[in-house]
Amino acid sequence: MAVLVGKNAPKFKSKAVLNGNEIVENFSLDQYLNKKYVLFFFYPADFTFVCPTELLAFQDQLGEFSKRDTAIVACSVDSEFSHWKWLQTPLSEGGIKGVTYPLVSDLAKTVSENYDVLAGSYEYAENGEVSFQGTPQSYRGLFIIDKHGIVRHQLVNDMPLGRSVEEALRIVDALQFFEQNGEVCPANWKKGEKAMKPTQEGVSKFLSEKK
C-alpha cells in the first residue's frame, strides 16, 4: 500500500456527476488548488449496502465541511451513468437521492490504481493475455488534501468497514488548527481543546495541565 501523505495528490481527469444530475467530461481536483481543502474518498460500488450509508452521512455533514472550506468528492469504478441512476433513486429503494457533491467515474480503474486503493491488480501472461486478480473495486480509501494539493491524511478501510464522518471532520479541524496556530494536536484532540507547542517543554506543560 503506497503512502501518499506528504506527496502531491495524483492528478486525473474523468467523467463525473455533479449536483446529483449533471454529467461532466473532464472533472479534476485541480479546480480546488489554492481555493479549498478536499476530502476525496473511494467506495466499492453503486447500489450496494454499506456505501449508501457513507455517502449519505457525508452529505448530512456537507455544511460542516463547507464551513471548513473543504470540498467533498467521491469516486468508484462505476460508470457515470450508474452514478446518475443511483443519484436519481430514492433512499427507500436503495438509492442516494439528495447527494449533491461530485461522484467521479473510475471505469478504467486508473484513479484507484494511482491512489493505490484498487482491491486487486492486472496480471500479464507470457502469451499476452491479461487477467485481473482480486476484486475489481476500490477499498474504502479516504484522502484529505490541503489547498496546495498535498495529501495530509490517508485512511484505507476494507470493504465491510464503514468510515467515521466525525473522525474525518476532526482531522480537518486538526490540520487547519495546526496551519493557523503552529501547535500540534495530541491524541483524541477536538476543536476547542488545548493543543501543544512542538517542543519538549510544550509537551511537558500540556501533560502536566492534563493531570
Catalytic, 51? Answer yes
pLDDT digits (tens, 9 = 90+) for 23-58: 999 999 999 999 999 999 999 999 999 989 999 999
Global pTM reads 0.93
149 plus 185 within the same structural domain: no
- 11 grid coordinates: 492528478
CATH code, 109 = 3.40.30.10
pLDDT digits (tens, 9 = 90+) for 98-122: 999 999 999 999 999 999 999 988 8
Options 51, 103, 151, 169, the catalytic residue: 51
The total domain count for the chain is 2
208 plus 179 within the same structural domain: yes
Rounded to an integer, what is the distance from CA 123 to the centroid of its chain? Answer: 27
41 plus 139 within the same structural domain: yes
The answer to whether 131 and 123 have CB atoms below 8 angstroms apart is yes
pLDDT tier for residue 64 given thresholds of 50, 70 and 90: very high
168 in a structural domain: yes
**Rounded distance, CA 211 to CA 209, Å?**
5
28 plus 90 within the same structural domain: yes
Better-scored residue on pLDDT, 198 or 86? 86
173 plus 193 within the same structural domain: yes
pLDDT tier for residue 123 given thresholds of 50, 70 and 90: confident
142 plus 174 within the same structural domain: no
145 plus 201 within the same structural domain: no
Determine the structural domain holding residue 182 and report its residue range: 164-211
The answer to whether 74 and 102 have CB atoms below 8 angstroms apart is yes
102 in a structural domain: yes
| C-alpha distances out from residue 89 to 16, 21, 86, 94, 192, Å | 17, 11, 5, 7, 39
One-letter amino acid identity for 178?
F
pLDDT tier for residue 177 given thresholds of 50, 70 and 90: very high
100 plus 182 within the same structural domain: no
**Rounded distance, CA 123 to CA 120, Å?**
10
143 plus 168 within the same structural domain: no
**Rounded distance, CA 95 to CA 83, Å?**
10
Percentage, residues of the chain above pLDDT 70: 94
Residue 203: the pLDDT is 57
Residue 210: the pLDDT is 65
